[in-house]
A = this chain, B = another copy of it.
Amino acid sequence: MPVNLSAPQASDLLPISGVRIAATEAGIRKAGRKDLTAFVLAEGSSVAGVFTQNRYCAAPVQVCREHLTAGHDIRALVINTGNANAGTGAPGLAAARATAATAAQLLGVAPQQVLPFSTGVIMEPLPFEARIKPALPALMAQAEQAEAATGQAWLDAAHGIMTTDTVAKAASARAVVDGRTVHVTGISKGAGMIRPNMATMLGFIATDAAIAPALLQDMVQRLADESFNRITVDGDTSTNDSFVLMATHHAGNTPVQALDHADGQALYAALRSVAQQLAHAIVRDGEGATKFITVHITGGKTKAECAQVAYAIAHSPLVKTAFFASDPNLGRILAAVGYAGIADLDQNRIALYLGDVHVVQDGGRRPEYREEDGQRVMQQSDITIRVDLGRGAAEDTVWTCDLSHDYVTINADYRS
């Protein structure tokens, strides 16, 4: 059961002019579910992306990187689930290229104008010839003929990219830019193997706003750093993490050139709102999650060391199982702070707050702290841990979930 996360409704999702979507059942791994999704973008759209830092990156990630730097306008995205096309060597790379080339041919564009994405099991051959190739003609035709993607089409796409997700993930926002209303809609997927480092498993956000292409790459990077790069479920960075931002320029505004004026700020706020909702949804739907945990570190010398401490806490199986048990066994948090790798950390300056309860002061348990106060907070399903390092003014936040029996069940059974 996802933590305080309800399924998005088609009526909540804003169409984005210039984006058309189709999803189909290609039978890649399992029958009877949508597992192949296509985005077709209007001519003149701008696209930027960030990808996994995993050195063992999947074949489609390699192809995306090539195509995004080739300098052609991107006109389509093709996304399959059921198979990650990672650890598949030269045949896997060929299959990713063939996916892009086949879709491109059907659309009458160059292969470099299509981005392929895959998610699912690692190290299995991608069934391009058997499953994907036969499904592409109808899929691309359906996408080309579609209306500007409706809320229902976005919702279908959100379902079409799911793997172990239990709830589809989609969100929308509006902003006023240059006197015009612009629209933002995005989808994401992911529930396990989540410690994105540049991006999540898969995230796609589109806007009809015009954005200077030179700004788009900075924008997607900054968005990732404030959303998908601040979540973790199990500390495993996927081979396939990809986050793509698409701007169709259909809203008719003067292109946004920078983030430091009112229009840029308004647009960025709408994009960040969608990106953070999508990122939080991944944690709330984290495999086996029963609690959504915000880890907020303050008083650090640098933002980087705050992140380091936040991840040490967020990755500790002992902290995560204590939260699953609603047990305020908070010494485990102190232990994680201690091993986070800050060499000159002074344990006597550390403070710890659980929700609104001040637990630790000057490195030791406060005499006023009562176990029942900790217990009260631990019963909640949305909990904030705050640790003050007492050595500076920097801060950072990471979002994570607990570690439950269901995490083990899901991951022990994933392939069966």
Q: Give me the interface of A with B, judged by CB distance under 8 Å.
A: 53-57, 84, 86-92, 121-125, 192-193, 195, 197, 234-239, 315-318, 321-322, 324-325, 327, 329-332, 334-340, 342-343, 345, 347-348, 350, 360, 362-365, 403-405, 407-409, 411-416
Q: Choose from B90, B192, B327, B345 the contact partner of A415 (Cβ within 8 Å).
A: B327
A365 to B84, CA, bound (A): 14
A-B pairs, top 8 by smallest CB distance, nearest first, are: A89-B364, A122-B331, A56-B338, A123-B331, A325-B412, A321-B411, A237-B339, A54-B338
Chain B residues whose CB sits within 8 angstroms of the CB of A411 once the complex forms: 317-318, 321-322, 325
Q: Could you list 7 further interchain pairs (A-B, Cβ under 8 angstroms) beyond the known A55-B338, A236-B318, A317-B407?
A: A55-B337, A56-B350, A57-B347, A89-B363, A122-B331, A124-B365, A329-B414
Does B121 contact A335, Cβ atoms closer than 8 Å? no
Knowing A321-B411, A364-B90, say if A122 contacts B335 (CB, 8 Å): yes
Q: Chain B residues with Cβ under 8 A from A91's Cβ?
A: 364
Contact indicator B405/A325 (Cβ below 8 Å): no
Q: Which residues on the B side are within 8 Å of A365 (C-beta)?
A: 87-89, 123-125
Verify B123–A55 contact, CB threshold 8 A. no
User: Which residue among A236, A238, A336, A362 has the maximum number of chain B CB atoms within 10 Å of its CB?
Assistant: A236
**Pairs A–B under 8 Å by Cβ, sample size 25:** A55-B340, A55-B345, A55-B347, A56-B335, A56-B338, A56-B345, A57-B338, A84-B331, A87-B365, A88-B364, A89-B363, A122-B332, A123-B330, A124-B365, A193-B332, A197-B339, A236-B316, A236-B339, A237-B339, A321-B408, A327-B415, A329-B414, A403-B408, A405-B408, A405-B409
Q: A324-B408, A408-B408 are in contact. Are A334 and B56 (CB under 8 A)?
A: yes
In angstroms, Cα B350 to Cα A49, docked, is 27
**Cβ–Cβ < 8 Å partners of A335 in chain B:** 54, 56, 86-87, 122, 193, 236-239
Q: Judging by beta carbons under 8 Å apart, are A86 and B331 in contact?
A: yes
| Complex interface: chain B residues within 8 A of A88 (CB) | 364-365
Closest chain B residue to A234 by CB distance? B317
Q: What's the least CB distance linking A251 to chain B, in Å?
A: 38
Bound state CA distance, A195 and B324, in angstroms? 22
User: Which residues of chain B have C-beta atoms less than 8 A from A336's C-beta?
Assistant: 236
Q: Which residues of B contact A89 (CB under 8 A)?
A: 348, 362-365
CA distance A90 to B88 in the complex (A): 56
Q: Is the CB of A236 within 8 A of B193?
A: no
Query: Across the interface, which residues of B come within 8 angstroms of A237, CB to CB?
Result: 335, 338-339
For the complex, give the distance between the alpha carbons of A335 and B55 in Å. 8
List, in ascending order, chain B residues with CB within 8 A of A192's CB: 318
> In the complex, are the beta carbons of B55 and A343 less than 8 A apart?
yes
- Min Cβ gap A349→B in Å is 11
Q: Which of chain B's residues have a CB closer than 8 A to the CB of A331?
A: 84, 86-87, 121-124, 239
Q: Which residues of B contact A360 (CB under 8 A)?
A: 87, 123
Residues of chain B contacted by A408 (CB below 8 angstroms): 321, 324, 403-405, 407-408
How many angstroms from the CA of A316 to the CA of B86 in the assembled complex? 17
A4 to chain B, nearest CB (A): 21
Tell me the minimal C-beta distance from A411 to chain B in angstroms.
Answer: 4
Find the B residue at minimum CB distance from A329: B415
Known: A92-B364, A123-B334. A321 touches B412 (CB 8 A): yes
B residues in contact with A343, CB < 8 Å: 55
Which of B55, B84, B317, B338 is A317 in contact with, Cβ under 8 Å? B317
Contact present for A87 and B321 (CB under 8 Å): no
A387 shortest CB reach to chain B, Å: 11
Residues of B within 8 A of A334 (CB): 56, 86-87, 122-123, 239
> Which B residue sits closest to A409, measured CB to CB?
B405
In the complex with contacts A321-B408, A321-B412, A347-B56, A239-B327 CB distance below 8 A: no
